[in-house]
Amino acid sequence: MEIRTRFAPSPTGYLHIGGARTALFNWLFARHHNGKFILRIEDTDVARSTEESTQAILDGMQWLGLDYDEGPYFQSKRFDLYREHAYKLLETDKAYKCYCTAEELEQRRKDAMAQGKTPKYDGRCKSQGAGARVQGANDKPFAIRFKVSPGTTLVKDIIKGNVAFDNNEIDDLIILRSDGTPTYNLCVVVDDATMNITHVIRGDDHLNNAPKQILLYEALGYPVPEFAHLPMILGSDKTRLSKRHGATSVMAYKEMGYLPHALVNYLARLGWSHGDQEIFTIEELTEKFSFENVGKSSGVFNPEKLLWLNHHYIKEAKTDDLAKLLEPFLEVKGYAVGTIHELSLPNIVKTVQERSKTFVEMADAAEFYFKENIVYEEKAAQKFLTPDMIEIFEAIRTRLENVTTFSHEAIETVFNGIINEKGMKLGKVAQPVRVALTGGTVSPGIFEVIENFGKEKTVEKLKKAIAFIKQKG
RNA sequence: GGUCCCAUCGUCUAGAGGCCCAGGACGGAGCCCUCUCAAGGCUUAAACACGGGUUCGAAUCCCGUUGGGACCGCCA
C-alpha cells in the first residue's frame, strides 16, 4: 500500500518552527517510503484565516525544500463535503441537533468552572429527542453534535504506544456550527479519509483529539489511519515554544542569514536521532528516517546548536554558492551588487566564510571590502596608526607597486622582506596595515585582504593612512 | 481542577537487563597553533529525578512519588 502523509496547517500566521518540523517529519516519512506527501490548508475558521498566511506557509515550505505531491487543498472549498458527512451522521442517528446558543454554552462553562467542576456539555439536546424539532422547516438555528457513545477508545500510536481514553471524558463535539460551517475534527477526519491518508503525523498536542476522530472514522465507516504524535518543541523555559523565546518564524531564519538545510538538519535531530550522527544530507535523512528513533519526550529548541550547524554548512559550502546567497544581505546594507563588481565576491567570501555563522555576519565581516571611505575605529587608530608606521607603510606601498603578479605569495614576500630588514614581528606590521585597510583590528588574514583589494586599492588605502597619521600629529 | 503524555550532562541525544563508575554533539572552561578574529587540534567539568519492587545483575522491566508539558471552544 502506498504511504500517504499530509501537513495540514491553519493559515492564521506564518510557518513556525514547530509546524516546520511536523511538515519535515511527514515529508521524510513519505519520501523514505516512496509515498506521497500532501499539503492541506485548514482554513475552516474563516474569521482567522488569511491569504497572506497561506502564502507565508507556502514560502516557508519552499525555502525548506519540502515539496508536496498533492495540494495545496483548501478546506474552505470543501464545505459541501463536510456538510454531507455531518448530515449523514444526523440521519443515521449518530449525531443530533443542538439548539443551545454559544452564549448559553459559555455561561454554563463559566458556572462549572466557578464551582470547580469540569466543564462539560450536559447533553440536554440529545435527551430531548431529536424527532421533535428536527422536522420543522423553519427550525431555530442549531449546531450538529456528534454523539459519543460510552466505552473506551484506544489510540494506537506509533510513537506513544497504546493510549486508552474513557469515552465519558469526551464531550459530544460540535461537528457543524449553527452557521453551517464545519469544525476541525469533522474536517480532518473527512479529509484524511477521502484523501486516503495512511499516516497522520502531527504534534502530540493533538493526542487528545485522536479518540474523537477515531470515533468519527468509525461512525462514518472509514478505515482508521495510523497515528504518530510527535513530542512538542519547547522554549528554553520548557513551555510551548512561542514568540517570547525568540524567532519562531521559519522565514525569519532566512532573513537572519541561515541556510535552509541547517534548519532542516537541526529540526530533524530535534526528537529524532541516528546514533551519534549530527550532520545529515537530505539523502541521508530520507534514507535513515524512521519512527523507531523518534523519542517520546518533548525537546527544547536550542538556537546555539542551530547556529553551529549553520556555521558548519557555511564552512562547507562552495564560495560561488555562498556569494550568490550573500548578495541580498549586502544589498540590505546598501551595497548594490552592480557597484561591487571590481572585487571578486567568491574570493571575498573565501576569506570570511569560516568566521561567519550567518549571512548577516558574513555581510558585516565583508563590509570593509566595499566601503569607499573607511572610517578608522578610534581606539584602533590610536594604537596602530602611529608616526613610526609611516616608514613601514611607505616601504610596503612601494614594494607592492613593483610586484608584477599580485599573488598571495608575492605579498607575503614583501612583508617578510620588510620585517626581516627591520627585525620586527609580523604582528607589529600586520595590525597597523589591517587598520589601514579595514578600519579595524579584526579581519581575515592580511595577505588575503590585500590580494582581494588588488594593487591599486591597497596602495590608495595605504596612502590615505599615511596622510591620516601625518595630519593627526 | 479533570484527562492524557513525558522524565539520561545546562540543551539535543546514544543506550532495547550485564559491553556503562554511562558515549557523542552544542554550549562552557583550559591549553596548543597564530598577523587580529576565526577556523583547527588536544584536554576538561557536567546527567541516569526520587522511593520501592522484579532479577544473580537495572539507566534499561513493573509500581508509586515528585516534577514538567499538552489538551479540556460553535479555534485549529
The pLDDT value recorded for residue A166 is 94
**Segment holding A338, helix H or strand E:** none
DSSP for residue A239: S
- The CA distance from A432 to A316, in Å, is 31
- The CA distance from A182 to A179, in Å, is 9
Computed on alpha carbons and rounded to an integer, the radius of gyration of chain A in Å comes to 32
pLDDT at A246 > cutoff 90: no
Kindly report, residue by residue over A79-134, the tens digit of the pLDDT: 999 999 999 999 999 999 988 888 888 787 877 777 777 778 877 787 665 444 44
- Least reliable range by pLDDT among A109-113, A315-319, A322-326, A362-366: A109-113
The pLDDT value recorded for residue A47 is 83
The one catalytic residue in A77, A156, A238, A243 is A243
The pLDDT value recorded for residue A340 is 57
pLDDT at A137 > cutoff 50: no
A148, amino acid identity: V
- The CA distance from A249 to A18, in Å, is 9
Q: What is the mean pLDDT of residues A459-465?
A: 94
pLDDT at A298 > cutoff 70: yes
pLDDT at A30 > cutoff 50: yes
The pLDDT value recorded for residue A133 is 46
Spatial distance from the CA of A193 to the C1' of B14 (Å): 38
Model-level pTM?
0.94
% of chain A surpassing 70 pLDDT: 96
Count, residues in chain A: 473
Cis bond leading into A260, ω under 30°? no
DSSP for residue A258: -
- What is the C-alpha end-to-end distance of chain A, expressed in Å? 83
Q: Which nucleotide has the least CA–C1' distance to A427?
A: B35
pLDDT at A345 > cutoff 50: yes
DSSP characters for A145-182?
EE---SSEEEEEETTTEEEEEEGGGS---EEE-TTS-B
The pLDDT value recorded for residue A75 is 95
Question: Residue A105, CB, less than 7 Å from strand B?
Answer: yes
The pLDDT value recorded for residue A311 is 98
- The CA distance from A382 to A362, in Å, is 27
Q: What is the ipTM of this complex?
A: 0.96
pLDDT band with cut points at 50, 70 and 90 for residue A291: very high
- Least reliable range by pLDDT among A2-11, A335-344, A464-473: A335-344
- Least reliable range by pLDDT among A79-88, A239-248, A334-343, A441-450: A334-343
- How wide is the angle at C-alpha A138 spanned by C-alphas A135 and A142, nearest 5°? 80
Q: What is the mean pLDDT of residues A431-456?
A: 95
- In the structure grid, which three cell numbers stand for residue A221, read together? 465507516
Question: Residue A327, CB, less than 7 Å from strand B?
Answer: no
The pLDDT value recorded for residue A342 is 67
The pLDDT value recorded for residue A152 is 94
- In the structure grid, which three cell numbers stand for residue A316, read together? 562547507
Question: Residue A331, CB, less than 7 Å from strand B?
Answer: no
- In the structure grid, which three cell numbers stand for residue A18, read together? 514547530
Half-sphere exposure (Cβ direction) of A422: Cα atoms closer than 13 Å: 19
Q: Which nucleotide has the least CA–C1' distance to A169?
A: B3
- The CA distance from A26 to A32, in Å, is 10
Evaluate whether A343 touches A370 at the Cβ level (below 8 Å). Answer: yes
Among this protein's residues, is A422 annotated catalytic? Answer: no
- The CA distance from A126 to A98, in Å, is 7
Which SS3 state, helix, strand or coil, does residue A230 take? strand
A244, amino acid identity: R
How many CB atoms within 10 Å of residue A455?
A: 16
- In the structure grid, which three cell numbers stand for residue A42, read together? 485548514
Nucleotides of strand B within 7 Å of the protein's CB atoms: 1-8, 10-16, 23-27, 34-40, 68-76
A207/A404: higher pLDDT: A207
Q: Cell match 546548536: residue?
A: A305
DSSP characters for A86-140?
HHHHHHTTSEEEE---HHHHHHHHHHHHHTTPPP----HHHHT-HHHHHS-TTPP
Chain A residues 138-167, Cβ below 7 A from strand B: 141, 143, 160-161, 163-166
The overall average pLDDT reported for chain A is 92
Q: Cell match 544581505: residue?
A: A329
- How wide is the angle at C-alpha A301 spanned by C-alphas A332 and A253, nearest 5°? 15
* Residue A260 backbone dihedrals phi, psi, to 5 degrees: -60, -35
- The CA distance from A174 to A86, in Å, is 10
Q: Strand pairing partners for A16?
A: A249
The alpha helices in A293-377, defined as continuous H runs, are 303-316, 319-332, 345-352, 359-370
A331, amino acid identity: E
Largest CA distance in chain A: 109
DSSP for residue A382: H
